[in-house]
């Protein structure tokens, strides 16, 4: 047991040392410090793995607010009070007690029992103690009983201060309490270590949040800790949560529940069999992923300028455009370096109650990015209508034909397809080369003009997303420092007209399955819910198989 004793006055430190020696306690540091000085010492002691802190009075009460380890308070016993009050029993001078409320009532009771006239003033802070002492001085008081701070201020004011001291009995009792507390702590630590070992063996990510996050699993927790703490607050408010969480190209099942008090346990685990009904939330980190929004197209340049102007304005934004035209990049550009997180959900998947959870997570700002907003159920549309003014921004994507059905008065931004902005293809291709060079350790220096001509004359049914797939394959396949026209021609010819996938039945079952999934996915404009429904598989399985296509 490692103890740090913080005595408000030197005499108490001597008694603590004597009692510790009598009890054979050697692992103890005894310091002298009152109030804020004592708090600073306690914080430092906790950092140095102290088990128990012993202090007294208001100093102990303040320390309790700043450390998580047990703080044992040395009592001022009835004998201690009787001893100091007896000193003024026979004086004709005016005397008063001035100090913190915790002991004021006991002083009043003892002085009444022994028939000593003593005015009692319960004060909550040092400033008011000093003000009260000045009033007593003006009223011709002589003696003031109190704690260390009262006695120090009394002497500065010209009064005689009588310090309330704690005797050996009170110190001995504090040590007994410390030993009892340590036995309880040791038992809890043993139980905690047992659970922690169990968690280690389950190969999952687990974090306990109680004011701050403590990782219990042996692996680093994959989500940002500030996001975890906000999520824990939402769980404490709304109750247990279970949903899919995607972050940095990895999918997890997240389970969160509240334990005792405000403690929240959050578990992340990669599982193959996840209920299809679970909503999927994607946490996007703009600092980690490239935003492909470069443009030399006049209409898109104006659109980006408009988006920049919207960064400091409230209200929803509705983005329209074909699949892969850059709506998410534009949404992330609007978010920019703003505070808060960027959470992406599918409007066809989430129940309305889940939007309240997301709103709590984003209570300090951020973006709620809802794709396929035209598929929102009526309850979610009503929620949107009632939540158009938030600490966070709502950005929706919708079909141009159906955006008018949304009950949201927001700014409309439309992104033209890539085939109408071919002057952007060269810069976007260079951005993709840089990204894939970094990701795959390649050293492609550029792209030959003939290859660029092929790219600029392609139709891109899937827009920027399709250009990204082409450039990824080119970076991986090219054997020279520059991407050649032959490489691009081979890739484009393999894609076929309108990117329809020809099913080759001569391959393995896995190859045929992959081709079918890709074909249906493209036909459904990459709508995961519709693709999964047509294929008769759950969204999690589809998500995993689509990752294999990237």
Give domain status of residue 244, yes or no.
Answer: yes
Which of 387, 416, 445 represents a domain boundary (last residue)? Answer: 416
H runs (alpha helix) in 239-346 = 298-310, 327-335
pLDDT of residue 469: 93
Residue 48, pLDDT above cutoff 60: yes
Say yes or no: 427 and 522 in one domain: no
**Which CATH number is 391's domain given?**
3.40.50.300
Which of 397, 416, 435 represents a domain boundary (last residue)? Answer: 416
pLDDT of residue 273: 60
Classify strands 264-269 and 205-210 as parallel, antiparallel or unpaired: antiparallel
pLDDT of residue 511: 63
- What is d(CA 203, CA 205) in angstroms, rounded to the nearest whole number? 7
- What is d(CA 218, CA 145) in angstroms, rounded to the nearest whole number? 55
Cα–Cα distances in angstroms (integers) from residue 88 to residues 93, 103, 114, 138, 163, in the given order: 8, 18, 11, 20, 12
pLDDT of residue 45: 92
- CA neighbours within 13 Å on the CB side: how many for 326? 27
R_g (Cα) of the chain, nearest Å? 35
pLDDT tens per residue, range 253-281: 899 998 877 788 998 887 666 556 788 89
Phi, psi of 469 (to 5 degrees): -65, -40
Give domain status of residue 109, yes or no.
Answer: yes
Instruction: Give one word for 547, left, alpha or beta, with left for phi > 0 and alpha for psi -120 to 50.
Output: alpha
Residue bearing the bigger pLDDT, 504 or 223: 223
Q: Which domain holds residue 270?
A: 205-278
Residue 370, pLDDT above cutoff 90: yes
pLDDT of residue 315: 83
Residue that is written with structure tokens 């990895």 in the block: 250
Confidence label for 500 from pLDDT (cuts 50, 70 and 90): very low
Residue that is written with structure tokens 């020809």 in the block: 502
Say yes or no: 272 and 293 in one domain: no
- What is d(CA 345, CA 355) in angstroms, rounded to the nearest whole number? 10
Mean pLDDT confidence for 24-41: 89
- What is d(CA 219, CA 203) in angstroms, rounded to the nearest whole number? 8
- What is d(CA 205, CA 200) in angstroms, rounded to the nearest whole number? 9
Give domain status of residue 189, yes or no.
Answer: no
- What is d(CA 246, CA 280) in angstroms, rounded to the nearest whole number? 7
Residue 217, pLDDT above cutoff 80: no
Say yes or no: 310 and 410 in one domain: yes
Residue 83's nearest CA partner among 162, 173, 155 is 162
Say yes or no: 228 and 245 in one domain: yes
Q: What percent of the chain is predicted at pLDDT more than 70?
A: 88
**Which CATH number is 50's domain given?**
3.40.50.2300
Domains of the chain: total: 6
| Burial group, residue 504, by CB count within 10 angstroms (0-12, 13-18, 19+) | exposed
- What is d(CA 287, CA 472) in angstroms, rounded to the nearest whole number? 21
Contact of 183 with 194, CB cutoff 8 Å: no
Q: What does the mean pLDDT of the chain come to?
A: 84
Say yes or no: 29 and 113 in one domain: no
**Which CATH number is 518's domain given?**
1.10.10
Residue 407's nearest CA partner among 396, 393, 420 is 396
Which of 165, 192, 213 represents a domain boundary (last residue)? Answer: 165
Say yes or no: 490 and 532 in one domain: no
pLDDT of residue 288: 44
Say yes or no: 264 and 293 in one domain: no
Give domain status of residue 196, yes or no.
Answer: no
Give domain status of residue 195, yes or no.
Answer: no
Cα–Cα distances in angstroms (integers) from residue 235 to residues 55, 257, 358, 363, in the given order: 36, 6, 11, 14
- What is d(CA 255, CA 272) in angstroms, rounded to the nearest whole number? 15
Residues shown for the chain: 550
Say yes or no: 219 and 331 in one domain: no
Strand order in the sheet with 52-56: 28-32, 3-7, 52-56, 71-74
Contact of 373 with 317, CB cutoff 8 Å: no
- What is d(CA 324, CA 418) in angstroms, rounded to the nearest whole number? 9
pLDDT tens per residue, range 532-543: 777 878 776 777
Say yes or no: 306 and 334 in one domain: yes
pLDDT of residue 449: 94
Classify strands 264-269 and 250-258 as parallel, antiparallel or unpaired: antiparallel
Query: Which residues lie below 8 Å from residue 229, measured CB to CB, with a gap of 6+?
Result: 209, 212, 213
Give domain status of residue 394, yes or no.
Answer: yes
Give domain status of residue 200, yes or no.
Answer: no
Say yes or no: 464 and 541 in one domain: no
Q: How far apart are the first and last CA of the chain?
A: 56
Contact of 276 with 540, CB cutoff 8 Å: yes
Residue 139, pLDDT above cutoff 60: yes
Give domain status of residue 543, yes or no.
Answer: yes
CA angle centred on 252, ends 246 and 258, rounded to 5°: 110
Classify strands 241-247 and 280-284 as parallel, antiparallel or unpaired: parallel
Q: Is 60 helix (H, G, I), strand (E, B) or coil?
A: helix
Say yes or no: 286 and 410 in one domain: yes
Give the alpha-carbon dihedral of 122, 123, 128, 131, to 10 degrees.
Answer: 20
Chain centroid, CA 507 distance in Å: 47
Say yes or no: 374 and 342 in one domain: yes
pLDDT of residue 287: 45
- CA neighbours within 13 Å on the CB side: how many for 456? 14
């Amino acid at each position: 047991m490692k103890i740090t004793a913080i005595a408000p006055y030197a005499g108490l430190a001597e008694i603590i040392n004597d009692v510790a020696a009598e009890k054979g306690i050697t692992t103890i540091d005894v310091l002298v410090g009152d109030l804020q000085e004592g708090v600073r010492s306690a914080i430092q002691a906790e950092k140095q793995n102290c088990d128990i802190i012993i202090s007294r009075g208001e100093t102990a009460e303040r320390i309790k607010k700043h450390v998580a380890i047990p703080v044992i308070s040395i009592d001022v016993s009835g004998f201690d009070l009787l001893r100091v009050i007896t000193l003024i029993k026979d004086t004709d001078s005016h005397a008063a007690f001035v100090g913190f409320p915790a002991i004021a009532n006991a002083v009043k009771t003892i002085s009444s029992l022994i028939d000593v006239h003593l005015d009692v003033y319960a004060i909550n802070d040092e400033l008011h103690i000093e003000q009260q002492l000045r009033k007593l001085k003006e009223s011709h008081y002589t003696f003031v009983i109190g704690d260390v701070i009262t006695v120090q201020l009394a002497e500065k004011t010209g009064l005689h201060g009588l310090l309330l001291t704690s005797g050996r009995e009170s110190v001995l009792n504090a040590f007994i309490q410390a030993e009892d507390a340590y036995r309880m702590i040791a038992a809890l630590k043993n139980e905690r270590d047992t659970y922690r070992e169990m968690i280690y063996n389950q190969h999952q990510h687990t974090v306990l949040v109680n004011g701050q996050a403590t990782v219990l699993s042996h692996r680093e927790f994959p989500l940002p800790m500030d996001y975890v703490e906000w999520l824990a607050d939402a769980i404490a408010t709304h109750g247990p949560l279970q949903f899919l969480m995607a972050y940095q190209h990895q999918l997890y099942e997240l389970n969160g529940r509240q334990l005792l008090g405000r403690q929240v346990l959050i578990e992340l685990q990669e599982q193959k069999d996840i209920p299809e009904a679970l909503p999927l939330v994607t946490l996007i980190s703009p600092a980690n992923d490239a935003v492909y929004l470069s443009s030399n197209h006049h209409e898109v340049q104006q659109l980006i300028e408009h988006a920049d102007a919207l960064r400091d304005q409230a209200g929803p934004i509705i983005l329209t455009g074909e699949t892969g035209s850059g709506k998410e990049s534009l949404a992330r550009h609007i978010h920019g370096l703003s505070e808060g997180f960027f959470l992406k959900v599918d409007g066809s998947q989430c129940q309305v109650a889940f939007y309240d959870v997301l709103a709590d997570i984003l209570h300090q700002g951020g973006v709620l990015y809802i794709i396929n907003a035209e598929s929102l159920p009526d309850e979610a549309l009503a929620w949107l209508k009632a939540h158009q003014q938030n600490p966070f921004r709502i950005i929706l994507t919708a079909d141009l034909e159906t955006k008018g059905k949304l009950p949201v008065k927001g700014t409309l931004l439309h992104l033209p397809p890539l085939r109408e902005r071919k002057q952007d293809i060269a810069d976007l291709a260079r951005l993709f080369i840089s990204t894939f060079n970094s990701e795959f350790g390649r050293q492609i220096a550029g792209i030959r003009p003939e290859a660029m001509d092929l790219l600029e004359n392609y139709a891109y049914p899937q827009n920027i997303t399709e250009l990204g797939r082409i450039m990824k394959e080119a970076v991986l396949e090219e054997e020279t420092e520059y991407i050649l026209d032959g490489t691009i021609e081979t890739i484009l010819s393999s894609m076929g007209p309108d990117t329809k996938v020809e099913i080759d039945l001569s391959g393995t079952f896995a190859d045929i399955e992959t081709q079918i999934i890709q074909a249906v996915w493209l036909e459904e404009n990459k709508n995961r819910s519709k693709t999964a429904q047509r294929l008769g598989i759950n969204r999690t399985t589809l998500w995993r198989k689509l990752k294999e296509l990237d």
